[in-house]
Structure 1
Amino acid sequence: MAQFVEPRSIDVVPDEERHGRAFGQFTLWLGANLQITAVVTGALAVVFGGDVVWSVLGLLLGNLLGGAVMALHSAQGPRLGLPQMIQSRAQFGVRGAVVPLLLVVVMYVGFFASGSVLAGQAVGELTHTDDTTGIVVFAAVTGVIATAGYRVVHALGRVASTVCALAFVFLAVRLLDRADTSALLHDAHFSLPLFLLAVSLSASWQLAFGPYVADYSRYLPRSTSAKATFWWTLSGSALGSQWSMTFGVLAAATAGEAFLDSQVGYVVGLGGTGLVASFLYFVIALGKLTVNVLNTYGGFMSLVTGVSGFRGQRRLSPAGRVAYIALVMTAGTAVALLGKDSFLSSFKDFLLFLLTFFTPWSAINLVDYYLISKERYDLAALADPHGRYGAWRFDALAVYAAGLLAQLPFLATGFYTGPLVEPLGGADVSWIVGLAVPALLYRLVARRLPPPDAPPAVPAPEPGASTSAAGPPAS
């Protein structure tokens, strides 16, 4: 009988422990995206001035473009059997990878907090308490499931994808019954800045999954098709997010202030009262639980990866696992409690802020994996600061910094607007620059690894082959 608590963290998953099918990526990412924060993200396109038609089209383009980048990361999981961010050691060095890792942890805490604000409202209604109690209860449940790990996370995704899909069909019918769809569809006035804002909102949503998406595909058998992993991940994530965001666009355009004043209250109010309302509060909490577990689990993985680069730790004890997860959970809950009254006004800037820091990382990681290393890494060297990848890769870190700086003239947020935004009509195209510039620079400067006499970069698929990469348990 499989253990309830996952025994592995950042160590390589041996072939004898691999299981599942690529289709599991579809249900996980569909469930993770059919949720209230994705609804709010779509609504922002209208809140900041867009019309329904071009907002929906812009969101679709962003979901497909950002989702394709995210799914390319997912396809790395079955091949390497490693969580996503530890692969960054091949680009930035065993210790240099701590630079993007710190930013990734900020992302996890931020998304945990934003999700907890909305889920806390639902849990508070379900338990007949208040938002603060709801946030705390929600965080505790999130921590328990994240501690259980991979199998339970995927089981939660299967349940959420089914329950939330049924609920969103019901809500869509109720919303369309209220909306004047003919008027909304005919009120279409193209504005390039607002269209690009919608693209950026959904692209940033998808790209933000990149730093942890392989965490949830790494247990798939090594023989799993990379194309299957890519397409099932992309289809689940893009379908779920576009579905939720389109609902958000229609809700914001139809309800206006009623939606802005209480996103959770408005969505539940569409369904009715009594048992139906209780069910919808449960659905909102369930959808947020799925993605918040991913954020907590990913934050735990990233913290372990960052610390182990300096400590030489390759395996984690159960007590250590609980401590790391509790740290992420506590930080996210604290931010949620402090920011719960100013959620909507700061969420757009938070999403675009994340996009600025993660597009260069995605570009460098994907160019290195697919073009430089040809999908092959020396897994043992990923744990050795004196090995093939070194402790610090200053060339890659310089490219990463250049990718960040290149975006600044094109960046438009509430706290900073670059000098080239106004000549472009107010459009924010920083994420396009953040993908293109570091991809080209890294391709030029990356040294060719491994050397000709190196051993195979991926362990052969026999039982125990990953032992040298995993190392002994930490004391």
Structure 2
Amino acid sequence: MAAPSATVETRSIDMVPFAERHGKPIGQFTLWFGANAQITAIVDGALAVVFGADVFWAIFGLFVGNILGGIVMALHSAQGPKLGLPQMISSRAQFGVYGAIIPLVLVILMYIGFATTGTVLSGQAINLILGVDIPAVGIIIFGAITAVLAILGYRFIHALGRVATVLGLAGFLFLSIVIVAKYDVSQILFLKSFAWPTFLTSVALGAGWQMTFGPYVADYSRYLPQQTSERKTFWFTFAGSVGGAQWAMTIGALAGGLSAAGLGGDFLSNQVGYMGDLAGGGLLALAIYLMIVTGKLTVNCLNAYGSFMCSVTISTAISGRESVAKLTRIFFILLVIAASVFLALFASSDFLNLFKNFVLMLLMVFTPWSVINLIDYYKVSRHRLDIPALYDPSGRYGKWNVPALVSYALGVLSQIPFLAQTLYTGPITHWLGGADISWIVGILITGLVYYPWALATSKAPAQTIYPSQASETQQATS
């Protein structure tokens, strides 16, 4: 058994034994507030204004989206203490040991995409701190720091989240005061009438931001003691994630509105520099850049760590192994960070438009997965899993689970006519005046198909079956 105090985390996709569980659910608040109170969330909020919404209705739409997506995200988090498993390992119970590979590939692409955008923005902040005008310098430095912390693992990522929360609270409070004191924000509110298409885009941007955490949120609650309250895990995760994201997105929407109205600098072409200028330059600007780097470092570590989990989940589905060596863990983390650094070095200048379509596309492919996972866990299997079978293609859950795979495919395909993307706009979207409701359609279709089918074909055991080493501990403590 690995010592809980080991410097480098030794657990990977295996269940965390009961004796190694530690921590309190409030740690989920600091982790997820720190991961959300960051520059990319500010950009996400600005997108709602950049692409047509009035500032007030953009902020309200983002709030609605963060609430809806945050509920889904926190429901995934609540699974962690009960199961002690990484999120995507538990999804083998719905999709089958091999079937789970399909959403896993998409999740890895998501990690690389978010890591790339984070590396671009953080590289800019590091260059401004160092006074360097060579983009590659900041990008490579940020990638190297991310690699070290992601390799160290769970404990260090949580510690970084606490630091990012403190810096984020101080920095965001300062920026909020500066925006209100320096500018008359009433000049950018209610300039446009309410419009469903732009309002729904704002909702989708908020919901999409939150729901993309779903595939890895339980990875950071699985070390909590098994008796940890699901409600506390849910609410601390929800409050941290929604609170940090909404605050950041509100600042972004205001900054985007001021910039578009010609009242507050050029946020649209220089998001990081704009934040420094807003702070007043000098040491205050350096403090804001440090906040940006720390916040992005937190979430990029989550991306690198999560990509390792997903990559190993794929490889072990084929090899049949339940864990991997420490060097293998390091290799996967470095591989994803190298990919994100490489892409960041050659990132397109059309950053905002690409990022908007990236977030909305992720919402399309992850909404059906979340629906399937949550329906199965809370309504079908009702927390009961055969954990050893999750690692055995010949076990209870098999290689492929047809109900989940078919429901997932229908959930994704049903959204196509409702899409509002740069590359493709669905025919029904035109009838709706450009409103993108594809993700709502995906939720309804996936749920309606999967729930009755899963009830009729449920493979859930009468009670949770634990690995031998865990069950012995369970018996000794029960």
Structure 2 counterpart of 1:465, from 455, 468, 471: 471
Instruction: State the alpha-carbon separation in 1 of the partners of residues 156 and 139 from structure 2.
Output: 22
Q: Normalized against structure 1, the TM-score is what?
A: 0.95
Instruction: State the alpha-carbon separation in 2 of the partners of residues 356 and 266 from structure 1.
Output: 31
Residue matched to 1:280: 288
Q: CA deviation at 1:4?
A: 1.1
Instruction: State the alpha-carbon separation in 2 of the partners of residues 164 and 158 from structure 1.
Output: 10
Instruction: State the alpha-carbon separation in 2 of the partners of residues 323 and 181 from structure 1.
Output: 49
Q: Percent identity?
A: 52
Residue matched to 1:181: 185
For the pair 1:222 / 2:223, whether they are aligned, the reply is no
Contact 2:55/2:190 (8 A) holds in 1:
no
Instruction: State the alpha-carbon separation in 2 of the partners of residues 313 and 13 from structure 1.
Output: 16
Q: Which amino acid aligns with 1:221?
A: P
* CA deviation map 1:55-92 (0-9, x unaligned): 11100000000000011000000010001011111111
Q: CA deviation at 1:274?
A: 2.2
Residue matched to 1:21: 24
Q: CA deviation at 1:444?
A: 2.0
Contact 1:10/1:301 (8 A) holds in 2:
yes
* Count, aligned residues: 465
Residue matched to 1:232: 236
Q: CA deviation at 1:100?
A: 0.3
Gaps of at least 5 residues in structure 1 are 469-475
Instruction: State the alpha-carbon separation in 2 of the partners of residues 135 and 17 from structure 1.
Output: 36
Residue matched to 1:77: 80
For the pair 1:209 / 2:213, whether they are aligned, the reply is yes
Q: CA deviation at 1:345?
A: 2.3
Structure 2 counterpart of 1:385, from 393, 407, 411: 393
For the pair 1:158 / 2:166, whether they are aligned, the reply is no
Q: Which amino acid aligns with 1:295?
A: N
Structure 1 counterpart of 2:463, from 417, 438, 456: 456
Contact 1:412/1:426 (8 A) holds in 2:
yes
Q: CA deviation at 1:302?
A: 0.4
Q: CA deviation at 1:395?
A: 2.6
Structure 2 counterpart of 1:363, from 371, 390, 407: 371
Mean Cα deviation higher: 432-441 or 35-44: 432-441
Q: Which amino acid aligns with 1:150?
A: Y
For the pair 1:145 / 2:149, whether they are aligned, the reply is yes
Residue matched to 1:45: 48
Gaps of at least 5 residues in structure 2 are none
Mean Cα deviation higher: 375-384 or 184-193: 184-193
Contact 1:349/1:414 (8 A) holds in 2:
yes
* CA deviation map 1:134-174 (0-9, x unaligned): 11110111111111111111111111001111011111111
User: Secondary structure at the residue paired with 1:465?
Assistant: helix
Contact 1:14/1:466 (8 A) holds in 2:
no
Runs of 4+ residues deviating >3 angstroms:
447-451
Kindly report the root-mean-square deviation, in angstroms, between the aligned alpha carbons of the 2 structures: 1.7
Mean Cα deviation higher: 331-340 or 140-149: 331-340
Residue matched to 1:330: 338
Q: CA deviation at 1:330?
A: 1.1
Q: CA deviation at 1:182?
A: 2.3
* CA deviation map 1:1-47 (0-9, x unaligned): 71111110100001110011111111111000110000000001110
Instruction: Sort the Cα spacing of 1:463 and 1:99 in 2 relative to 1 into closer, same or farther, 3 A.
Output: closer
For the pair 1:95 / 2:103, whether they are aligned, the reply is no
Instruction: State the alpha-carbon separation in 2 of the partners of residues 407 and 178 from structure 1.
Output: 43
* CA deviation map 1:312-343 (0-9, x unaligned): 12111111011010111111112211215232
For the pair 1:117 / 2:120, whether they are aligned, the reply is yes
Structure 2 counterpart of 1:303, from 289, 296, 311: 311
Residue matched to 1:473: none
Instruction: Sort the Cα spacing of 1:156 and 1:390 in 2 relative to 1 into closer, same or farther, 3 A.
Output: same
Q: Normalized against structure 2, the TM-score is what?
A: 0.94
Instruction: State the alpha-carbon separation in 2 of the partners of residues 420 and 449 from structure 1.
Output: 35
Alignment of 1:393-408 (within 5 A): 393-408=401-416
Q: CA deviation at 1:175?
A: 1.4
User: Secondary structure at the residue paired with 2:278?
Assistant: helix
User: Secondary structure at the residue paired with 1:422?
Assistant: helix
